Amino acid sequence: MASAALSALHGITAALSTAVLNVGIALLGVVVIALLYAYPYRALTLPFRNLKGPPPTSFVLGSLLTHALNPVGAAYKPWLAKYGATLRYRTLFGSWTILTVDPVMVGHVLQHTRQFHRQATFNEFIGRICGKGVLVVENDDHKRQRRAVSSAFSAFNVRGMTPILWEKSYELVKTLNDLVGEGEAKGDSTGTIDIHQYLMRATLDMIGLAGFNYDFESTAGRKNPLSTTLFGTVQLMQAPSLIRIFASIFPALFDAPTKLNKSMASTRHVMDTVGKEIITARKKELEADQVKVEKRTQLGMDAVSLLVKANMAADLRDDHRLTDDEVLGQIGALLLAGNETSATALTWASWHLAHRPDIQDKLRADVDSVDEDRPEVERLQTLPYLDQFVHELLRFDPPLHRVIRHCVEDTVVPLSIPVQGADGKTIDSIKVSKGTEIAIAINEINRSKEIWGEDAEEFNPDRFARTGIPASNVPGIWGNLLTFIAGPHNCIGYRFALMEIKIVLFVLVRNFKFEIDPADPAVDRRVRSFTMRPVVVGRESEGIQLPVVLRAIKRE
């Protein structure tokens, strides 16, 4: 009996071992096939395999980390110099990205939004924070949402938002003056301030009021549940994350119980709660009017009020109407797009002012030529050096250093700058296969010597007073720059951003002198969350910061 049982046990063990071995062999076979597809097969069948590019630095990640872990431009600039205006580089698991600064290819990709969508990972990531707003939807949904949102940021409506910008700019002056005074009272005569965090607070208040008539009171230092959780999430988004990288292949990673994913979920919950309260209040205001709501019915100048009106208007076509969830999604979109980018641009403006006192003096002379503390829009727009400074700022330091588009169908894209292929032949068009990502190098286009002159790598507002500059056209929506992108997905709020930047600079330069921090730390331009932020070299673990010295100017 024992012998028979033992024999049966051995038989079961052998059978299990064989089954495990067979499963192992099958899994190994799947892995081998996947690797053969991901690497040699994909490389050999790639329609643009004749494009040259850098060798990958990692078997799994390709050249991703070369770009992600270095300052902006450290990878792209030498690649473009060596391989030409359009090249390819390997990314995750044998995938390939096309990098380009070719203006015709850039224009084609940005205009043909039904063939080239925004990066799926970006859409999923942003959508989890702010919902399905205009930042993440595509095709007809995007067209419908954009039609509604863009009207809120027309030139006329932005003009009506300027009182908010003036009010919050002078509130920022008070906060900064208090900080300088506190430092002097404590015997700290340096006046060093991390200007970035205060600009973030001010621009948050501005977009909150202009976007949906909600005052975070962040400039004054008030605590607010939405701003607290939003800033917390942005802080966590600063660090490069392998989970975010691999989520493009394994979307389930977006649901992993990471600290960032939990923070994103919390932000979304608070944002939805606040947003629903705002939308409900706007609806009640309209209903209280006890009149038939039409498109011309007046209700506030903030963007969400205009969207709610659009959603309720009886004379609005059904296919133009937004759902409540779509209106809700715009609140998060406005916060993310309208806060980070402007604050980042103003932060770099502070850096240039501190390091170039000659430029600062010229800008101060320009803004001091105005008698009023809050000049009319027409007067503000006549200040020549302020305009040149803002142009140069957004050329030299675009908050978004690149955009990525995902090809959703096989197509052919033309080139205006031919490149030499690996076989020595000239390439003047590229077959782009479905699934390919195209990286548009905004930073490198904005600093092109062929467009902006031999001093393109220098910050020089006077270039905009030269004749013959820019030397060629770029398919951007404003200023011959790609900073606000182009095509149907261009920046909806670019007029608001320009007005915001000009007003904040007007106020700060009239009230403070900017000086270099005595320690004079080296500052790198790093991609943190999605924008090009300042990071102090050697103090990267401290996160985003820009220490500058402020000296208050006493005005009569």
CATH number for the domain harbouring residue 180: 1.10.630.10
* H helix count then E strand count, the chain: 20, 12
pLDDT of residue 5: 58
Tens-digit pLDDT profile for residues 467-512: 888 888 899 999 999 999 999 999 999 999 999 999 999 999 999 9
- For residue 358, being part of any structural domain is answered with yes
Annotated binding-site residues for heme read 491
312 and 239 assigned to the same domain: yes
218 and 71 assigned to the same domain: no
- The span from the CA of 266 to the CA of 226, in Å, is 9
434 and 363 assigned to the same domain: no
390 and 417 assigned to the same domain: no
- For residue 261, being part of any structural domain is answered with yes
- The span from the CA of 108 to the CA of 71, in Å, is 28
In this prediction, residues 41-62 reach a mean pLDDT of 88
182 and 331 assigned to the same domain: yes
Axis crossing angle, helix 324-355 with helix 384-396, rounded to the nearest 10? 100
- For residue 40, being part of any structural domain is answered with yes
249 and 357 assigned to the same domain: yes
How many domains does the chain divide into? 2
Residue 407 has pLDDT above 50, yes or no: yes
204 and 304 assigned to the same domain: yes
- Domain of residue 47 covers 22-130+403-440
More confident residue, 52 or 150: 52
The tokens for 286 are 């309209």
Tens-digit pLDDT profile for residues 509-547: 999 999 999 888 899 888 866 788 888 998 888 888 999
217 and 336 assigned to the same domain: yes
Q: At 117, is the secondary structure helix, strand, or coil?
A: strand
Residue pair 540/240 in contact by the 8 Å Cβ criterion: no
Tens-digit pLDDT profile for residues 327-379: 889 988 888 888 889 999 999 999 999 999 999 999 999 999 999 999 999 99
38 and 27 assigned to the same domain: yes
More confident residue, 98 or 541: 98
- For residue 395, being part of any structural domain is answered with yes
Axis crossing angle, helix 324-355 with helix 303-312, rounded to the nearest 10? 160
210 and 117 assigned to the same domain: no
- The span from the CA of 446 to the CA of 525, in Å, is 15
240 and 371 assigned to the same domain: yes
Q: Which residues contact 329 (CB under 8 A, 6 or more apart)?
A: 130, 131, 132, 133, 134, 145
- For residue 467, being part of any structural domain is answered with no
Annotated binding-site residues read 491
117 and 205 assigned to the same domain: no
Beta-bridge partners for 192? 549
Q: What is the 3-state secondary structure (H, E, C) of 314-378?
A: CCCCHHHCCCHHHHHHHHHHHHHHHHHHHHHHHHHHHHHHHHCHHHHHHHHHHHHCCCCCCCCHH
End-to-end CA distance of the chain: 109
- The span from the CA of 103 to the CA of 474, in Å, is 6
Residue type at 341 in one-letter notation: T
Q: Which residues contact 125 (CB under 8 A, 6 or more apart)?
A: 244, 247, 254
Among 340, 351, 345, smallest CA distance to 522 is for 351
pLDDT of residue 70: 84
pLDDT of residue 242: 72
- For residue 56, being part of any structural domain is answered with yes
Among 99, 95, 33, smallest CA distance to 59 is for 95
- The span from the CA of 392 to the CA of 463, in Å, is 8
- For residue 545, being part of any structural domain is answered with yes
- For residue 479, being part of any structural domain is answered with no
pTM value is: 0.89
- The span from the CA of 190 to the CA of 183, in Å, is 8
- The span from the CA of 235 to the CA of 88, in Å, is 32
pLDDT of residue 183: 66
